Structure 1
Amino acid sequence: MHCVSTTSHPPTCASPTNVKDACKLVADKHPTVGYDFCVKSLKKSSSGDLHDLALVATRTAIAHATSAEAEIEELMELEVDSADKNSFDKCLDAYADDVDHLRNAVDNIAARVYKKAVQQLGAAKSAAKKCEATFAGGDNKGEVPGAAGSDCAKLASIAQAIVASLE
């Protein structure tokens, strides 16, 4: 990337011209995220600016994590087994931690403290795996929340790759 310096801002790197270019950058670094998922997720951004795209991806990850929390709460209300309720409670804690990390990442991206944002985004990708692991050892045959949480992790990876390219 080509970096330029302006008088009102610290040096910044020239950004891709559009979402597709940014997603190519992400897909090259994180093949498991997928180019198509990235484009679909970031299409609501009118900007190709990496800083703005990182914010969009992180805010979208927050929305997915809170959606997963709501899904877990609904499933928890239907559950009668205390061990399964405990598993759902652990899932809720994991997603709450992810949301905290993601919100802190938004603050740091906005402040252009990219190194800290990369760390927070990295920490915000574990809830879905922790939730699955909680149920893997048990006898729960019920539904374990998946899609929203899995997408949250992918979105955090997208944001992390974009922010890392801004450092």
Structure 2
Amino acid sequence: MELVPADAIAMTMDREPPQECATPVSVEEACRSASETHAGVAYDHCMASLGADPRSKEAGNKNMHALAVLATRMAIDHAASTESKIDDLAELEAASSDPQARARFNHCLEQYGGAADLLRDALDNLKAKIYGKAMEQLTAAMGASESCEDAWKGEEDVPVAAHDREYGRMAHIAFGFTHHAAAAA
């Protein structure tokens, strides 16, 4: 997916500026709201993930938009670390003679490389408050974990399962927060 061109952003900015929801929101409120409206957001996981990040208190003191930006940054970090872990596993697998495993790892590497790019584009659009485009990109980026898991279907041991799950959860949180930020705009 592509970013919205700068001239389109400028045209949007020439119109009435979007109303920003300046109401501070706690991580607890944001996680509860997102988990109630988005099936992919688990309240306990949301609280644990964002509660562990010291930046969340500052972001929450601002508004839901700031929490959406933070959650998207965290999803980018998860995508990058998952891609790195898969790359390490693929290097170990390169020594083996299992071409199917190598193909699976390569598929996952492609998926996570694309997801990281989509998430960065989503972050740019989110910062510009182009919520619809950001949500499209977040939705597309969520497919990486599902596609990677599908590549391993039928295998007993899925070496990337935990990383896939964690990335998918964080991407869902970013989407849920972005959706709520858009509704408040």
Which category describes the TM-score, using the shorter chain as reference length? 0.7 to 0.9
CA RMSD in angstroms comes to 1.9
Q: Spell out the pairing of 1:51-70 with structure 2 (5 A cutoff).
A: 51-70=65-84
How far residue 73 of structure 1 moved from its aligned partner, in angstroms, is 1.1
Q: What amino acid does structure 2 have at the position aligned with 1:91?
A: C
Paired with 1:32 and 1:164, the residues of 2 have a C-alpha distance of: 13
Question: Structure 2 length normalisation: TM-score?
Answer: 0.78
Q: What percentage of residue pairs aligned between the two structures are identical? A: 38
- Candidates 95, 99, 117, aligned match of 2:112: 95
**Aligned residue number for residue 145 of structure 1:** 160
Q: How far off its partner does 1:144 sit?
A: 2.4
Among 16, 19, 30, which residue is 2:27 paired with?
A: 19
Which of 158, 161, 167 is matched with 2:173 structurally?
158
Which string of whole-angstrom CA distances, capped at 9 and with x for unpartnered residues, describes residues 21-47 of structure 1?
Answer: 011111101244211111122222123
1-structure distance, mates of 2:157, 2:36:
36
With structure 1 as the length reference, what TM-score do the two structures score?
0.86
Question: Over residues 125-152 of structure 1, what are the superposed CA-to-partner deviations in whole Å (9 max), with x where a residue is unaligned?
Answer: 1111111111215xx5554202222222
Contact in 1 for aligned 2:149/2:164 (Cα 8 Å)? no
One-letter code of the match for 1:99?
A
| Greater share of residues in helix | 2
Pair 1:35-2:43 in alignment: yes
| 1:116 and 2:130 correspond | no
Q: 1:20 corresponds to which letter in structure 2?
A: E
CA contact (8 A) 1:132 1:144 kept: no
Task: Confirm or deny: 8 A CA contact 1:41 1:57 kept in the other structure.
Answer: no
Unpaired runs of 5+ in structure 2?
1-15
CA distance in 1, matches of 2:65, 2:178: 7
Q: Report if the CA contact (8 A) 1:101-1:121 is conserved.
A: yes
Q: Gaps spanning 5+ residues in structure 1: where?
A: 1-7
Residues 159 and 99 (structure 1 numbering): CA distance in 2 closer, same or farther, change over 3 Å?
same
Give the Cα–Cα distance (whole angstroms) in 2 for the partners of residues 158 and 34 of structure 1: 8
Match of 2:99 among 82, 88, 104: 82
Q: CA deviation at 1:16?
A: 5.1
Q: CA deviation at 1:108?
A: 0.6
Q: Which residue of 1 aligns with 2:4?
A: none
- Cα 1:70–1:15 change in 2 (3 A) is same
Counting matched residue pairs gives 158
Instruction: Work out the CA distance in 1 between the residues paired with 2:163 and 2:75.
Output: 9
In the alignment, structure 1 residue 50 sits paired with structure 2 residue 64: yes
